[in-house]
């Protein structure tokens, strides 16, 4: 089969690979649509290290080709998705409800990110076929009537973005700021809206993303190239600051800005992948006396999470279709990486079809 | 009356002051016992700025001398305490359950610490009398049979320390580390024990404090002068790290150590008052992907909180009597500051009696 | 002034009364708009006992006429609302976050409903003027641009209905059933929608209410006169039942139906005012082994709650204007009671203007 | 092998059975110690129906004899326990954190109790060997140094009893009543103590159980044969009632008494297995306006839960050894049932050793 493989920093290439073997708990899924994530770009650039030769990609939509001998409750030919995070369901962390930090093999798993396996510690899904581990935990049947592209955001972007609002404990009537309106930030904006926030302020400067933010639920969009976003958010909130600030970029600047607009007792919900140490400035952190909460969230996974997210789509509560701005064949994935990695041509997300 | 007054950085002196007038919602309390807090030392040193001439102190035990015209439900002569934090009960923050960030006058109060008034924004209780604002919210009757010293830790030390365990959401069977075993850290240790943590690891190096930590509930006490506390905690937990790490000192070193011993998905509960920017190191912060929570807590106040804490004492669940290592008359308060500020003679807390 | 007074069971009449005196913590509010609640009908019928001569009504919109001597932070002439529930802000229950059960005078208040004072234990607001107790806790300024009718539902109907979804802990992607689509049920439907439920099933039989349910967020409306609602809900959910069932009527039949459609581990959120003992049938209650939660909620009050609800209205997230189906002058209130009490003419809510 | 088998209502008998076969996800455990539960008595009496021929018992301590082909992370010969409830880890309910209602095969599982399999829907552990399903989810290694009897209460009694306090959300300083001090109630008492309740009131009449209640944490024990327990609890709490009332018997009388002593806003945490419809009396239920929560809990299971409970034992926080009042060989299990079922000779729990 064809698969996008991490060759070396700076190079992900399409290669020929054998179709994966599966164990008793696994499933083999024929991928019908997948996409490229910002994390894949980190991998491409060598900023997030994975082993050479790994098949990348962690957002699969497909059809069950084969089921492991111990797998029950599914049938071959069934349309499914799996989350970017594939918990084992049997780790101590998973049984404690923390599926993304599922450190298989240890008792509690001190090593973080244990639940992220596709395109990280095992072969991923930018390929014709993918082996899904712990299939009964991770395979989520796609409801009739939903297209591949309609559920393509569920495995990662939507799950992560919504989690920003959920971990932030957004309540009815809250004021929420979302820093950066890339795909994750847009989904955080939509998630805050869905949970009942009433003043949602997006921060962005790319016109297409600013427009999409408004479409997905932002009441205000602040262009950080035109105004200082901290000042503007304090102005919009009459000096009170926000109840929840969501970081969706992964930089010191946005992280710190979140803290600066956060009211005492508020929650900073961080989704970004950082690449440097972070600084908590003394004043905005209120010297540790502001009753602040800072919470980070790795994408929630597992079939129950996927079921809920597909419910949101099926109910028509959100239309993420417009996030798919470009479409490529798997054969063209190197061009897709080039476009997506350089954020050219107003790209938000690409759909890749093997 | 006599009162300890902040004169200038480096100098808190006993001065003569008029007995406070009270408004309709206030009470005048004759102080029978009070104490000095680490925060008062920050004030003394000029590290935490207050206005010159302010009466300091925020931990009152006393007797109601006079009630404001609109105050109901109390009687003169009643023994009471008030929390270090005196919420208004009517601010937006207070009505939302965040009493310590009670910013009276604004809608939500962006300025933090609004609930801390005694010895910060209004005259405090290291004096013969203190005016208690919003008396119906803040005066908590002392149950019969409890001495002044038995309830002396409730207004601040016990409320803050316990909150470290509560904000950390300590659960039955948790492993908890508490960095620093000063009065606050000791109460955090006791609070973790009371909430059902089963492996409690205190970090300290002063022998008297190490012994007290064991007495109040620590299963292990790590002497950071003998071993690296991060390594030792990882060893004690067989590499798994802790579910909750409580910071009770206020330094980069202890804050960072908390993060380094925290399991993915765990909670860093911070109580310390910091005096510098803080750094979140990329690795232990898992690049923002570790499902970590960092929560800071200012001392919870109000009479309901005080009632609960006095319940804990009255039920014999904890004996904080031994924390009072030294006793002074109010006349001798300058000497008390000298002893406490320099942590001489094994001092933990002092009792000051006007 | 004119006021609607409970004379005896079966009779509420307009009488002449003196304008209320106010104490230091009170405010006098000139009522500009108010409404009649289902609870008032219980009072009228004698089903919920209040003292004879009491001015009834608990949903005030008005203008501050006079402020008590100890009240700060408001000005005369300001447009305000107050919640149906007027917590003291200083009771133990209120300080513990349970404002509606605010039992002034006792330590924790075993007597329930202590926070409901207007038209229950003190004179209410179906009058030209009303005394608002604990004004700083309860007066919520109306944002510019919102009309009386736009905020008229906030004091009770919207606060109670939304609380049905909040106490039910509705999550993104949940399936929710709401039994009865009167004003409270309609607001529960809207609240479930605002919190991100994706399958919302209303149960009702009055065509106008069924239509309004769809408009406010129901995905399905089941006519219990046409089909068995339990069977229909199980059919709609493919046998899985609902995550949250909201009772908004106050009868054994609807309460029990909620339990019968509730999945194991789900929440029955009860809003109704019952007038008989209730039965928990063994099977649907799973013999006590179903990990069910049953939670009842009295209308949350206080100015912070009102602020949030008015935010929801101001942000355009909900339009409850259509709930006001009829308008009366205060002089005509007896006719209004007659119409509303008999649910004639498709009435949902009436607006009363003194 | 020998096994205790449900023959017909009124008769559980020791029979000869083949050693169970295991599938790829299972483990075969050689039982070294087990016990009899109150639920087994319900089964014996025919009150809780199971199929004839089923091996009963759901509290296994043992040694791994054989591992299924897909099971990793364990070794034969390892000492383990498994919870009474054995979740699959891959059901929608289990992935949602509701392990006990794990309805394998359906999407959410409307049928309750799906996680209870041992001695209910599959053969149980009152036998020489037991097949443990989903072994990686359920096998919890016993820490070195703990005896069989020290961990014998973990699978059910301790997990259920503690859950009574956890589901009741017991907080530091709470007042808690526990109705009935059988094994489950005693563990609820201990759990309330471990979570920091400061006034714990047990209700019981058997002198040995009353004494044990005091030993495990009750501050007061009310003999319901001597006084009316509702009146006595109201007297002990000075009329305020309790924050949390735990039902640990399964009768209308105790359930209703819980409600009668519960303060507005409090939690009724129900553990009992009921055998009749229940009545919620209008007054104590405050006509549905008391902000009450009623929550039922089936025993939490899974290896993470077992790990935590064994931590509690290993840390010496609780000594449930004295609950084992009688010891029998598996050969004598019919006599054990006779003793335990009739609560003769002061029996609390029996240890059965094959």
* D5-33 pLDDT per residue, tens: 999 999 999 999 999 999 999 999 999 99
Task: Specify if B99 maps to a domain.
Answer: no
Mean pLDDT of C16-32: 98
Distance between CA D352 and CA D228 in Å, rounded? 38
Mean pLDDT of C127-156: 98
Closest chain C residue to B141, measured at CA:
C107
Residue whose entry in the numeric block shows the structure tokens 């010891």: D327
Please write the tens of the pLDDT for every residue from B341-352.
999 999 999 999
Task: Specify if D90 maps to a domain.
Answer: no
Residue whose entry in the numeric block shows the structure tokens 């999409």: A212
Q: Give yes or no for residue C109 having a pLDDT over 80.
A: no
Distance between CA A161 and CA A116 in Å, rounded? 16
Q: Which residues of A touch C219 (CB under 8 A)?
A: 315
H helix or E strand, kind and range, residue D305: helix D303-314
Q: What's the farthest any 2 CA atoms get from each other in chain D? A: 61
Among residues D145, D147, D192, D184, the alpha carbon closest in space to that of D168 is found at D192
Tell me whether residue D122 is exposed, middle or buried, using C-beta atoms within 10 angstroms of its C-beta: 0 to 12, 13 to 18, 19 or more.
middle
| Predicted pLDDT at A177 | 98
DSSP D116-181: --BTTTB--SSBSEEEESSHHHH-EEPPTT--HHHHTTIIIIIHHHHHHHHHTT--TT-EEEEE--
| Predicted pLDDT at A112 | 86
For A26, A173, B19, B273, C238, the CA distances from B160, given in Å and listed in that order, are 49, 30, 30, 12, 50
State the count of interchain CB pairs (< 8 A) between A and D.
Answer: 61
| Predicted pLDDT at B111 | 80
Is the CB of residue A269 less than 8 Å from the CB of residue A177?
no
D196 & D149 share domain: no
DSSP B214-246: HHHT-SEEEETTTS-HHHHHHHHTTT--EEEEE
Encode C228-256: b = buried (16+ Cβ within 10 Å), e = exposed.
Answer: ebbebbbebbeebbbbbbbbbbbbeebbb
Chain D contact present for A75, CB below 8 A? no
Residue whose entry in the numeric block shows the structure tokens 């443990």: D132
Kindly determine whether residue A173 and residue C309, on different chains, have CB atoms separated by under 8 Å.
Answer: yes
| Predicted pLDDT at C104 | 43
Number of domains in chain B: 2
Give the least confident one: B18-22, D43-47, D99-103: D99-103
Mean pLDDT of B241-248: 97
C132 & C237 share domain: no
Check the CA dihedral C101-C104-C109-C112 and report its sign. Answer: negative
Mean pLDDT of D153-175: 98
Distance to chain B for D160, nearest Cα, Å: 13
A53 & A178 share domain: no
The CATH number linked to B17 is 3.90.180.10
Chain C contact present for A240, CB below 8 A? no
Please write the tens of the pLDDT for every residue from C122-134.
999 999 999 999 9
Task: Specify if D11 maps to a domain.
Answer: yes
Distance between CA A293 and CA B296 in Å, rounded? 7
| Predicted pLDDT at A113 | 86
Per-residue pLDDT of chain A (354 residues; tens, 9 = 90+): 999 999 999 999 999 999 999 999 999 999 999 999 999 999 999 999 999 999 999 999 999 999 999 999 999 999 999 999 999 999 999 999 999 998 744 444 568 888 999 999 999 999 999 999 999 999 999 999 999 999 999 999 999 999 999 999 999 999 999 999 999 999 999 999 999 999 999 999 999 999 999 999 999 999 999 999 999 999 999 999 999 999 999 999 999 999 999 999 999 999 999 999 999 999 999 999 999 999 999 999 999 999 999 999 999 999 999 999 999 999 999 999 999 999 999 999 999 999
Distance between CA D233 and CA D221 in Å, rounded? 10
Mean pLDDT of B130-146: 97
Please write the tens of the pLDDT for every residue from D179-229.
999 999 999 999 999 999 999 999 999 999 999 999 999 999 999 999 999
Chain C contact present for B342, CB below 8 A? no
| Predicted pLDDT at D17 | 98
Kindly determine whether residue D112 and residue C289, on different chains, have CB atoms separated by under 8 Å.
Answer: yes
Distance between CA B301 and CA B307 in Å, rounded? 10
A266 & A137 share domain: no
Q: Which residues of A touch C311 (CB under 8 A)?
A: 173, 175, 198-199
Distance between CA C183 and CA C209 in Å, rounded? 9
Kindly determine whether residue B315 and residue D219, on different chains, have CB atoms separated by under 8 Å.
Answer: yes
Distance to chain A for D191, nearest Cα, Å: 19
Kindly determine whether residue C162 and residue A171, on different chains, have CB atoms separated by under 8 Å.
Answer: no
Task: Specify if D336 maps to a domain.
Answer: yes
A164 & A263 share domain: yes
For all residues of chain C together, what is the average pLDDT?
A: 96
Q: Which value, in Å, is the radius of gyration of the alpha carbons in chain A?
A: 20
Distance between CA D138 and CA B116 in Å, rounded? 49
C40 & C141 share domain: yes
- Cβ atoms within 10 Å of B276's Cβ, excluding its own: 12
DSSP bridge partners of C55:
C5
Among residues D26, D118, D34, the alpha carbon closest in space to that of D66 is found at D26
Tell me whether residue A304 is exposed, middle or buried, using C-beta atoms within 10 angstroms of its C-beta: 0 to 12, 13 to 18, 19 or more.
buried
Find all residues with CB under 8 Å of A159, minimum gap 6, and list them: A83, A84, A85, A299, A300, A301, A305, A306, A309
Distance between CA A237 and CA A327 in Å, rounded? 40
Task: Specify if C304 maps to a domain.
Answer: no
Name chain A's partners: 3 or more CB pairs within 8 A.
Answer: B, C, D
Q: Is C89 left (phi over 0), alpha (psi -120 to 50) or beta?
A: left
Chain D contact present for C274, CB below 8 A? yes
The parent domain of residue A189 ranges over 160-296
What φ, ψ does residue B172 adopt, rounded to 5°?
A: -55, 125
Please write the tens of the pLDDT for every residue from D272-318.
999 999 999 999 999 999 999 999 999 999 999 999 999 999 999 99
Find all residues with CB under 8 Å of C336, minimum gap 6, and list them: C36, C326, C328, C350, C352
Mean pLDDT of B257-281: 97
**Predicted ipTM > 0.90:** yes
What whole-number percentage of chain D has pLDDT above 70? Answer: 98
Residue whose entry in the numeric block shows the structure tokens 């400035």: A281
Task: Specify if C337 maps to a domain.
Answer: yes
Task: Specify if C163 maps to a domain.
Answer: yes
A183 & A142 share domain: no
Kindly determine whether residue D137 and residue A95, on different chains, have CB atoms separated by under 8 Å.
Answer: yes
**Chain D residues 302-331 within an 8 A CB cutoff of chain C:** none
Residue whose entry in the numeric block shows the structure tokens 């476009």: A339
Kindly determine whether residue D298 and residue C278, on different chains, have CB atoms separated by under 8 Å.
Answer: no
B136 & B177 share domain: no
Q: How confident is the model at residue B110 (pLDDT cuts 50, 70, 90)?
A: low
Kindly determine whether residue D315 and residue B195, on different chains, have CB atoms separated by under 8 Å.
Answer: no
Nearest to A290 among B101, B106, B239 (CB): B101
A276 & A346 share domain: no
* Measured CA angle at A97 (ends A94, A98), to 5 deg: 65
State the count of interchain CB pairs (< 8 A) between C and D.
Answer: 167
pTM of the predicted model, to two decimals?
0.97
D38 & D131 share domain: yes
Strand, coil or helix: A274: coil
The CATH number linked to B175 is 3.40.50.720
Q: Which residues of C touch A173 (CB under 8 A)?
A: 307-309, 311-312
Kindly determine whether residue C285 and residue D278, on different chains, have CB atoms separated by under 8 Å.
Answer: yes
Q: Give yes or no for residue D177 having a pLDDT over 70.
A: yes
B204 & B250 share domain: yes
Chain A contact present for D338, CB below 8 A? no
Task: Specify if C240 maps to a domain.
Answer: yes
Q: Give yes or no for residue D105 having a pLDDT over 70.
A: no
Question: In chain B, what is the straight-line distance between the N-terminal and C-terminal CA atoms, in Å?
Answer: 10
Q: Which residues of A touch B277 (CB under 8 A)?
A: 279-282, 285
Residue spans of beta strands (DSSP E) within C239-308: 242-247, 262-270, 278-280, 293-296
B14 & B134 share domain: yes
State the count of interchain CB pairs (< 8 A) between A and C.
Answer: 64
């Amino acid at each position: 089969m064809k698969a996008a493989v991490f060759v070396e920093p700076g190079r992900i290439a399409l290669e020929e690979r054998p179709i994966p073997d599966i164990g008793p708990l696994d499933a083999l899924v024929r991928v019908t649509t997948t996409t490229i994530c910002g994390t894949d770009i980190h991998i491409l650039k060598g900023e997030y290290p994975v082993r050479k030769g790994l098949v990348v990609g962690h957002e699969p939509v497909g059809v069950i080709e084969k089921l492991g001998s111990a797998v029950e409750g599914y049938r071959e030919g069934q349309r499914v998705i799996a989350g970017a995070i594939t918990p084992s369901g049997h780790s101590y962390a998973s049984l404690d409800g923390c599926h993304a930090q599922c450190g298989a093999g240890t008792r509690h798993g001190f090593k973080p990110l244990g639940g992220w396996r596709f395109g990280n510690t095992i072969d991923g899904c930018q390929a014709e076929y993918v082996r899904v581990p712990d299939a009964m935990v991770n395979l989520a049947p796609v409801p009739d009537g939903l297209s591949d592209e309609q559920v393509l955001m569920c495995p990662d972007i939507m799950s992560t973005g919504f989690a920003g609002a959920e971990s932030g404990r957004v309540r009815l009537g809250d004021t929420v700021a979302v820093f950066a309106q890339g795909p994750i930030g847009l989904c955080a904006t939509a998630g805050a809206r869905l949970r009942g926030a009433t003043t949602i302020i997006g921060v962005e400067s790319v016109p297409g993303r600013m427009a999409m933010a408004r479409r997905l639920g932002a009441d205000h969009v602040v262009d950080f190239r035109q105004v200082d976003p901290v000042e503007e958010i304090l102005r919009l909130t009459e000096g009170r600051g926000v109840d929840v600030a969501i970081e969706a970029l992964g930089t010191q600047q946005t992280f710190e800005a979140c803290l600066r607009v956060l009211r005492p007792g508020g929650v900073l919900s961080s989704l970004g992948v950082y690449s440097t140490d972070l600084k908590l400035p003394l004043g905005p952190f209120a010297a540790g006396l502001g009753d602040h909460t800072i919470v980070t969230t790795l994408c929630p996974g597992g079939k129950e999470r996927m079921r809920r997210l597909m419910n949101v789509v099926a109910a028509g509560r959100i239309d993420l279709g417009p996030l798919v701005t470009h479409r490529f064949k798997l054969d063209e994935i190197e061009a897709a990486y080039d476009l997506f990695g350089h954020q050219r041509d107003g790209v938000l997300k690409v759909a890749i079809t093997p």
